[in-house]
Structure 1
Amino acid sequence: MPENEPILFGDSVHPTQAKKLTRGWIKHVKEQYIPTTRARMRVNIAGAINLATLQVMTRDYEKINSASLMDFLKHVESCYPKAPRIHIFLDQAPYHTSKETRKYVENSQIVIHYLPSYNPNLNPIERLWKIMHEYVSNNKFYLKGSDFTNAVKHFFEKTVHEIKDLLQTRVTDNFEHLNTQFSF
C-alpha cells in the first residue's frame, strides 16, 4: 500500500456493566461475597486502530447500525483528510455489509476489506477490546451506570495512550503460520 493510504482494523464492542469474573482466589470452604448489580448498562462503541501508529479512534452510540457506522466512517475520514484512500478491515456484521454502508463508501475515501466470517482472531482490534475489558470490566464492580460509562470513556481517552508499549506487543498483525499439510 502507498504510505499515504492508512490501513485500519475496525469493529464494534458492547461492554456491559454486569459483573465479569475472570480470576480470583477464595479460601476453600469460605463463603465469599461478590458484589453484583442487576443493571445491564451497555456502551456501544465503534472503533478502529491503525497498527502502524497505534492510533485508536472510537465513538460511542445509542446503538450500532448502518447509520452509526457511516457516522463513524466520516469520523475516520476526518482523521485522515489528506489520504486518497483509507483501507479498513471489518468483519461481516450486517451493518458493515448493508446496502447503506456499501453505498456510502462508493463516494468516500474508505475502502472496506471484509474478513472471513467467524474469524475474530484475524482482526487485531479484538485484542484491543480484550485489553479494554482487562482494565475496565474484568473483576470490577460499578454501582452506577455512569461510573461504568465513565470508566470505558476514560480507557479510550486516556489509558490507551498511557499503555502504548503494551498495545505494541499485544495488538499486532503477527499471526502464527500453521502447517496445513495433513497426513492420514
Structure 2
Amino acid sequence: MIRGGFLSEEDRKALIALARDGSMVCRVTRRANALVLLDAGKSCQEVAEFFLCDDDTIRGWHGVFEQRGIEGLTAFDVGGSSGLMNAEQAEALKAWVNATLPRSTRHIGAWIAKEFGLVYESRSGLIALLHRLGLEYHKPELISRKLNEKTQQAQIDAYENLLNSKGDDEVVLFVDAVHPTHAARPVGCWAPKAQNLAIEQTSGRERINIHGAIDLETGQTRMIEAVTIDAISTIRLLESLEALYPLMICIHVFLDNARYHHAKLVSEWLSRPGCRIKLHFLPAYCPHLNPIERLWSVMHKNITHNKTYATCKEFAEATLDFLRDKVPRHWGRYSSTVTDNFRVISPKDFRVIA
C-alpha cells in the first residue's frame, strides 16, 4: 500500500498544473475519462475530485455529450457554449433575466438548456456570457416607502448653510441610539480550501443600549450606556455634550424623530436658561442623512463580524471601548466611511422589485 502525503508542496503544485494542462489533447482526454467514470457509476463529485475541478464542470461535460455527442466533447467554443448562442437567443436571454431577475447561475443555466438546448460546462463560462450581455449580479438596496426628494434636498441645503455660516465657537454633532445584541455575526472570508470555519454561538438574547453622538470634524464621540433609551438617556447625553464642549456657545445636534427626542422632559430641559444645545430634527424615513448610522456599521465590522465574546459584559466593554476610544484615536482610518457626503435618494432611481 502506498501511503499518502509523499509529495512535497512544490511537487504537488507542479503535478496539479500538469493535470490542468490547457492543451486541446489533454482537455479531450480529461473529458473522455470523466464520462467513462460517470458511466461506471461514479458521482459527479467523485469524478470532480479525480480531475481537480468542480462538480458543475463534470455535469457540463456530460450535458455537452448528451447534446452533441463525441463531436461536442472535442469542440472548444470560447466561453463554454456561448459561441453557440446566436444574437436572437442572446436577446431572449437578456429579456428573460430582466423580467424574472433570477437569483442563481444554476437557474439561468437550466433555463438556457430548456429553451435553447445549450449546456454550459462551467459556472465561470456562464458568468462570462452574462457579463458580455451587460448583465451583473446585484444586491437590492433597502429604501423607505415614504421618501420625499424635496424634503431631503432641503435638509441637505440647510445643513450645508449651517456649516458655511457657523462660528468657531459652534460645533455640529449627530446623535442616534443603537442596540447591538450579544451574538456572533458570521461573514465570509478567505481561508485555505481544506479548512472548515466556524464561530461559537452566544446567547443572542442579551443586548446593550447605547445613546451616542459624533463630531465629524474631529471624530470625537460621546457614548452613554443606558438600561432604556428614553427621554432620560437623551437628557444625559445632551448634558454630557455640554460638558464636553464648555467653550462652545452653541452645540448643534442633528437627530431623528424618535418619540423620546420630542418628549416633554427633553423640551423642558432645553428651555432652561443658558441651555447651549440646539436640536435639528432630520426628515422622517431618512437614516441616510445621519452619518452616525454609518458609524454603527463600522462598529459591527470591527466588533461583531466573525468575533465572539464569552459574556455580554465582555461584549459591552469591547463595543464601548471601540466607540469611545478607538474611533476618536484612529479617526483618520474611519473618517472616509463615516461622512456627511449626503445624497437625495429617489425611488425613481431604482427598480423596486418587492
Q: Structure 1 residue 127: deviation in Å?
A: 1.0
- 2:270 is matched with which residue? 105
Greater mean alpha carbon deviation, residues 94-103 or residues 169-178: 169-178
- 1:22 is matched with which residue? 187
- 2:238 is matched with which residue? 73
Q: Encode CA deviations 1:71-129: one digit per residue, 9 max, x unaligned.
A: 11100011112222211000011111112112211222111100011111100111111
User: Retained in 2: the 8 A contact 1:17–1:145?
Assistant: yes
Q: Distance in 2 between matches of 1:17 and 1:178?
A: 32
User: Retained in 2: the 8 A contact 1:39–1:145?
Assistant: no
Q: Encode CA deviations 1:132-175: one digit per residue, 9 max, x unaligned.
A: 11111122111211211111122123321342112221111112
Greater mean alpha carbon deviation, residues 108-117 or residues 144-153: 144-153
The question of 1:127 aligning with 2:294 is answered yes
Q: Structure 1 residue 39: deviation in Å?
A: 4.2
Q: Structure 1 residue 31: deviation in Å?
A: 7.0
Q: Distance in 2 between matches of 1:105 and 1:61?
A: 20
The question of 1:153 aligning with 2:301 is answered no
Code of the aligned partner of 2:303: V
Q: What secondary structure sits across from 1:40 in the alignment?
A: coil
Structure with bigger RCO (C-alpha 8 Å, 6+ apart): 1
Code of the aligned partner of 1:9: F
- 1:59 is matched with which residue? 224
Alpha-carbon RMSD across the aligned residues, in angstroms, is 2.6
User: Retained in 1: the 8 A contact 2:170–2:250?
Assistant: yes
Code of the aligned partner of 2:283: P
Q: Encode CA deviations 1:33-71: one digit per residue, 9 max, x unaligned.
A: 442122422111111111122211111111111011101
Q: Cα gap change, 1:178/1:84 in structure 2, threshold over 3 Å: closer, same or farther?
A: same
User: Retained in 2: the 8 A contact 1:43–1:60?
Assistant: yes
The runs of 4+ residues in structure 1 deviating greater than 3 Å are 24-28, 30-34, 176-182
User: Retained in 1: the 8 A contact 2:221–2:324?
Assistant: no
The question of 1:168 aligning with 2:329 is answered no
User: Retained in 2: the 8 A contact 1:20–1:140?
Assistant: yes
Higher strand share: 1
User: Retained in 2: the 8 A contact 1:7–1:87?
Assistant: yes
**Gapped runs of 5+ residues in structure 2?**
1-165, 350-354
Q: Distance in 2 between matches of 1:43 and 1:180?
A: 34
Identical-pair percentage: 36
Alignment length (residue pairs): 182
Q: Distance in 2 between matches of 1:73 and 1:109?
A: 10
Greater mean alpha carbon deviation, residues 152-161 or residues 124-133: 152-161
- 2:30 is matched with which residue? none
- TM-score w.r.t. the length of structure 2 is 0.47
Higher helix share: 2
**Gapped runs of 5+ residues in structure 1?**
none
Q: What secondary structure sits across from 2:335 in the alignment?
A: helix
Q: Distance in 1 between matches of 2:346 and 2:179?
A: 35
Q: Distance in 2 between matches of 1:130 and 1:163?
A: 16
